[in-house]
Structure formats: structure tokens, C-alpha cells
């Protein structure tokens, strides 16, 4: 996934080039690490499903983890021993999904976490906000070959709601995992909304540290200090003012008021999906 344009909105200019390089050169060959030591901390994995704020977290990691930031790579790779590498990416545990690492890769990561040679930091968000964000991303990606977030397309929530209402059939097809949504770009399926929630619940059962994206909107320093502690990074954030995410928290509530069909969609979710949303700590 291309990130160069998104960097301008989510991370300071001083670290954009490092994130861009990490995206363009994601995985050096094995001989590289025979010359340059990969360190001996526990390998850190920053994993989030689509639309959960991972890019924002990447920016903080690159800016505030000091020397360890040089080990950051925007990809997911498994090592059989501890390293100082910081891998970031999208991945699934149970369901195959386009543009997300396969469950076979994630299993290796989870095995490393259970063996205590790696840590998994999972970023998640209210699933309805992720659903709306992902719908916008994929419809622009399919049309322009480059996906964007809600705030990059719509200046006002009213504009977004009007577009959602006009194309609600398309939105429902996306939420239900209907292959017709991706008819112009056949390939692997993307997670349905129910599968997305199931994956989130599975990650919460396995992660070393799980962080809600919304909590970074309230106190980014407090939340990021948890990441630093897991990575054994010694930093003092008392004199640093971390930038909050630009995303609007719980956008879905405003959308429910403006788009009755969206409210009906959430009301009609099956009982198990509603229970899972509650188990991961959110309400409808």
C-alpha cells in the first residue's frame, strides 16, 4: 500500500522520509543482517486491521523510539530468535483478506509471541468507524488506484453522509463481503464486517499489548508510553507534546443520525456480532 501522500497528514515532516524508505524497502535479504546486526531485543510487531490508525502509530514509533527506530520496517517478517526489529503491518488470524498478511504468516508471529521472543502490539478502533473508513478507502482505491481516509475526501460530515446515503447499496455490499464490490479488481476477498470483528476479538486474546485508537485522541503520551515500555525504550515524554490523531472519534454516531439506513444496518446486526462488539469493549 502506498503511504507517501498519507504521511503528510499523519506524521511530522522530519520522519516522513524514514517511513517512506521503510515502505519502499520493506525487507532486506538475510545477508543484510549478517553484516548489520538486527539487535537482540524482543522483536516488536505493530499490527492493526485496516482502518484502525496504524499509520499514526507508525509515525510516533519512528519519531520517539530513538535508536531503535532504525529497525522499523513497514512489513511483517518472522525471525526465529529475538531481534530489535519493529515490524508494522496488516494481518489476519483466521480469514484470508486482500492486502493483509495471510493467517499462515500471523501464526508464526503468534508462536514467537508465545515463546517470548517477540511482542505483539495490536491497535484497534470502534469497528463501525473502521467500517466507514474502509469503505471510503476501498472505493477510492478501486477508482483511482490510491485509497484515502474520510477527512481527505469530505470536508464536512454532512457531505460524507450524503454520499453514503446515495451509495448505500454499495456500502452494504462492502460490509457483507460481497465479491461484487471488488468486481473491477478481482482477487482475494476483503473482510466482511462480521469477519473484521471476529479478527479483532482473536487479536485481543493474543496480543502482548492492545491499544484503542480512540485513547490516543484523549492522551497520546499516556498511550504511547505503554508501547515504549513493551519495547523497553527509555524515553521521557514529559517535555514532548505528541500530536493527536486527526481522525474523528466515534464518527458512526453522527452518521447514524443523518443516514437512517445506516442506523437500520447497525440495529439489524446479528446477536453474535453485537455480543462480540461488546466483548471488545464497545457499544452500539
Q: Is 43 helix (H, G, I), strand (E, B) or coil?
A: strand
Check whether 194 has a pLDDT greater than 60.
yes
User: Residue 62 has what pLDDT?
Assistant: 93
**Which of 133, 142, 128 has the alpha carbon at shortest distance from 181?**
142
220-275 residue pLDDT tens = 999 999 999 999 988 777 777 899 998 889 999 999 999 999 999 999 999 999 99
Residues 6+ apart with CB under 8 A from 134: 50, 51, 174, 190
121 and 167 assigned to the same domain = no
Indicate whether 238 belongs to any domain.
Answer: no
Indicate whether 136 belongs to any domain.
Answer: yes
Residue 150 CA to residue 191 CA, distance in Å, equals 19
User: Residue 143 has what pLDDT?
Assistant: 80
CA-CA-CA-CA dihedral for 184, 3, 204, 246, to nearest 10: -110
pLDDT band at 123 (very low <50, low <70, confident <90, very high): very high
117 and 19 assigned to the same domain = yes
Lowest mean pLDDT of 11-25, 52-66, 253-267, name the range.
11-25
49 and 103 assigned to the same domain = yes
Indicate whether 199 belongs to any domain.
Answer: yes
Mean pLDDT of the chain: 87
Q: What is the DSSP string of 232-276?
A: T-----TT--PPPPSSPTTHHHHHHHH-HHHHHHHHTS-HHHHHH
Domain extent, residue 153, equals 128-185+247-279
118 and 173 assigned to the same domain = no
13 and 41 assigned to the same domain = yes
Cell for 38? 538486527
Indicate whether 240 belongs to any domain.
Answer: no
38 and 150 assigned to the same domain = no
Cell for 120? 505483539
| Domains: count for the chain | 2
Indicate whether 237 belongs to any domain.
Answer: no
Lowest mean pLDDT of 7-16, 52-61, 176-185, 248-257, name the range.
7-16
Residue 170 DSSP code: H
153 and 204 assigned to the same domain = no
User: Residue 96 has what pLDDT?
Assistant: 96
Amino acid at each position: 500500500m502506498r503511504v507517501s501522500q498519507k504521511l503528510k497528514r499523519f506524521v511530522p515532516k522530519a520522519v516522513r522520509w524514514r517511513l517512506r524508505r521503510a515502505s519502499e524497502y520493506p525487507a532486506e535479504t538475510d545477508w543484510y543482517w549478517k553484516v548489520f546486526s538486527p539487535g537482540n531485543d524482543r522483536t516488536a510487531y505493530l499490527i492493526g486491521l485496516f482502518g484502525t490508525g496504524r499509520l499514526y502509530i507508525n509515525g510516533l514509533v519512528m519519531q520517539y523510539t530513538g535508536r531503535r527506530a532504525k529497525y522499523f520496517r513497514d512489513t511483517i517478517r518472522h525471525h526465529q530468535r529475538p531481534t530489535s526489529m519493529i515490524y508494522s503491518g496488516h494481518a489476519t488470524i483466521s480469514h484470508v483478506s486482500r492486502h493483509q498478511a495471510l493467517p499462515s504468516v500471523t501464526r508464526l508471529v503468534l508462536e514467537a509471541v508465545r515463546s517470548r521472543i517477540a511482542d505483539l502490539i495490536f491497535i484497534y478502533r470502534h469497528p463501525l468507524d473502521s467500517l466507514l473508513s474502509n469503505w471510503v478507502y476501498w472505493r477510492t482505491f478501486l477508482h483511482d488506484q490510491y485509497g484515502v481516509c474520510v477527512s481527505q475526501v469530505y470536508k464536512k460530515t454532512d457531505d460524507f453522509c450524503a454520499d453514503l446515503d446515495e451509495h448505500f447499496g454499495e456500502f452494504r455490499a462492502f460490509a457483507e463481503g460481497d465479491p461484487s464490490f471488488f468486481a473491477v479488481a478481482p482477487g482475494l476477498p476483503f473482510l466482511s464486517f462480521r469477519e473484521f470483528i471476529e479478527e479483532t476479538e482473536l487479536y485481543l486474546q493474543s496480543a502482548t499489548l492492545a491499544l484503542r485508537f480512540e485513547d490516543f485522541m484523549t492522551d497520546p503520551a499516556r498511550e504511547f508510553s505503554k508501547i515504549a515500555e513493551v519495547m523497553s525504550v527509555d524515553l521521557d515524554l514529559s517535555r514532548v507534546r505528541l500530536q493527536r490523531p486527526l481522525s474523528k472519534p466515534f464518527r458512526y454516531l453522527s452518521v447514524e443520525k443523518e443516514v437512517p439506513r445506516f442506523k437500520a444496518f447497525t440495529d439489524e446486526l446479528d446477536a453474535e456480532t453485537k455480543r462480540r462488539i461488546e466483548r471488545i469493549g464497545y457499544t452500539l
